[in-house]
């Protein structure tokens, strides 16, 4: 799936999203999973913003809607996407 489609799907706030799609979106935004954090949560860090995102991985390979909403709000993702949509398309 192309990155632009992943962003569009994410911003529709589905009931669940695949962890791989979620991770690709965060990677594009400069977030990377912290190594060896242990436990049932995944921690994503961004060295530029210093914002830390914690996501539970208890249910396996899907991210729940509650966390999707939180990420969209935390990162102001709707506005960011509208401003950067053409850049994302150009990199695919």
Output b/e per residue, 54-75; b: 16+ Cβ within 10 A. ebeeeeeeebbeebbeebbeeb
pLDDT computed for residue 37 by the predictor: 65
Give tens-digit pLDDT for 11-28. 999 999 999 999 999 999
Residue ranges for the chain with pLDDT beneath 50 = none
pLDDT computed for residue 71 by the predictor: 95
pLDDT computed for residue 36 by the predictor: 65
pLDDT computed for residue 91 by the predictor: 74
pLDDT computed for residue 40 by the predictor: 81
Residue 7 near residue 88, CB atoms below 8 Å: yes
Chain CA centroid to CA 86, Å: 19
pLDDT computed for residue 35 by the predictor: 72
């Amino acid at each position: 799936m192309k990155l632009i489609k992943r962003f569009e799907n994410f911003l529709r706030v589905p009931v669940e999203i695949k962890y791989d799609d979620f991770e690709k979106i965060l990677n594009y935004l400069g977030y990377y999973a912290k190594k060896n954090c242990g436990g049932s949560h995944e921690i994503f860090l961004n060295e530029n913003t210093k914002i830390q995102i914690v996501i539970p991985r208890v249910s396996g390979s899907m991210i729940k809607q509650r966390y999707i909403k939180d990420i969209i709000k935390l990162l102001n993702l709707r506005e960011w996407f509208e401003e950067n949509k053409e850049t994302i398309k150009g990199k695919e």
